[in-house]
Amino acid sequence: MRLPKSKKLADIFELYADDPDRADWLVFGRKPHNDRRGFLKGVGLATMGAVLGAVIPFHRNMPSGFIPEAIAANRVQIAGKDGLTVLNDRPVNAETPAHLLNDEVTPTARHFIRNNGVVPDEMDAASWRLRIDGLVNNPLTFSIEDLRKKFDVVTQRLTIECGGNGRAFFDPPARGNQWTLGAVACSEWTGVRLADVLKAAGVKENVVYTAHVGADTHLSGKEGKLPLSRGVPIQKAMNPSNLIAFGMNGGPLHPMNGAPLRLVIPGWPGSCSHKWLKRIWLRNVVHDGPKMTGSAYRVPYYPVFPGEKVPESAMKIIHAMPVKSLITSPQTGLSTVGRDLSVAGHTWAGDGVVERVDVSIDFGASWKRARLALPANPYAWQRWTAELRFPRKGYYEVWARATDDKGVSQPFAIAWNPKGYLNNSMHRISVRVS
């Protein structure tokens, strides 16, 4: 949801309470009418229909300031998705509860959604074209079929995590989508290596950064204005694990996950993995597209006090994501009559590998080492499991702490920053033994 600058929290109910006409315009693109019945049409109708997962036959009868009951009750069902919690609907953003992320390969239906603009209307794979230009020796244009024929097609499990995952736990709050734990997934992606495609175009010696452009449009509706255009240093772009993907878990990409073509640049913020990909151009400077400048996807160079104001000149671009773990089984709030409990989850570490996961049931006084599997391939998350025994009945918390191959462990407390990025504090769940 795009909020007025005076708003500090993206709350659809506050927005409608303050100014329902403006809310209609911001959320659904529905302009106010003299009789307060602003008819839905175009992008607004498409957005609401996509969020609700169905067409709205009597949309012309919906009054201005009206919030559909399914949205108000948080019972929105996005077509092809299952169990996601919708955070806002213009743009559509939705996360997956931790206990629904227990699969080693995240099903398409449970892969989170992070949008910055309006989803494109046209996603026809047959007519889709990708342009590679800028500082290259041979500017090239490919259809998806061209990519399949001209380059090796590979399939890899790759972890994607939103840079703001965990923002909801910041105190004081940080503006932006209030993700809890579920803006992360590890699906199986099929495509061609980004490095192979860039090499085919011929990367010039003075290239510093890539720049990515998608087919989604800005919430304002202004023609030619991009909602997001990020990039990565050319050294990262040439990593063989990066994909230009056209497949997801053995099928096509989900429309909300970038169909029919997207980048997957694992280990770095999900915003680098551009969806609905139309163009990659190479530059001799750090890319300065939308959400590459100012404080977007940046953190301070130095630790700051919670709530401290930080000048933009002291902010650096986020590169690799930090080490992190997630408890996916059991679901938090479990009540059990047995004293023995199996726990499990996943762990990942940006550009690195996790070397150990430890769990605690006594608020960190002691730790037990979990069994840890190797990643299926570079940048896949790693499965961990542990068997716990509670000494007596009562309330317990299970804490999980991962340590990467550089010896860096998850902290207990959040390392606060103004934009609410990179929260990798330990995950914990509650268990009641009776």
Which distant-in-sequence residues (6+ apart) come within 8 Å of 176 by Cβ? 10, 164, 167, 419, 420
> Looking at the predicted structure, is the pLDDT value of residue 45 above 80?
no
Question: Using 50, 70 and 90 to split pLDDT, how confident is the model at 306?
Answer: very high
Residue of higher predicted confidence among 279 and 63: 279
Return the pLDDT at 90: 80
Return the pLDDT at 61: 72
Q: Tokens for 95? A: 């996360």
Which secondary-structure segment (H or E) carries 21?
helix 20-28
Q: Record the pTM.
A: 0.85
- Phi and psi at 397, nearest 5°, equal -125, 135
Percent of the chain predicted with pLDDT > 70: 83
Return the pLDDT at 409: 98
**Residue ranges per structural domain of the chain:** 1-77, 129-317, 324-433
Query: Would you tell me which CATH number, out of the four given (1.10.1740.10, 2.60.120.560, 2.60.40.650, 2.40.30.10), belongs to the domain 324-433?
Result: 2.60.40.650
Residue of higher predicted confidence among 130 and 74: 130
Architecture of domain 129-317: Alpha-Beta Complex (3.90)
Whole-angstrom distance, CA of residue 25 vs CA of residue 29? 4
- What average pLDDT is seen over the chain? 89
What are the residues facing 324 on neighbouring strands? 348
Whole-angstrom distance, CA of residue 87 vs CA of residue 78? 12
Task: List C-alpha distances in Å: 192 to 24, 189, 220.
Answer: 41, 10, 34
Residue with tokens 């509860």: 97
Q: CB count, 10 Å around CB of 306?
A: 14
Return the pLDDT at 49: 67
Contact between 235 and 86 (Cβ < 8 Å):
no
Q: Tokens for 384? A: 């961990």
Contact between 275 and 264 (Cβ < 8 Å):
no
Q: CB count, 10 Å around CB of 297?
A: 22
Return the pLDDT at 327: 98
What pLDDT, in 10s, does the model give residues 147-198?
999 999 999 999 999 999 999 999 999 999 999 999 999 999 999 999 999 9
Return the pLDDT at 21: 58
Question: Using 50, 70 and 90 to split pLDDT, how confident is the model at 27?
Answer: low
The mean per-residue pLDDT over the stretch 308-325 comes to: 97
What pLDDT, in 10s, does the model give residues 348-406?
999 999 999 999 999 999 999 999 999 999 999 999 999 999 999 999 999 999 999 99
The mean per-residue pLDDT over the stretch 239-254 comes to: 98
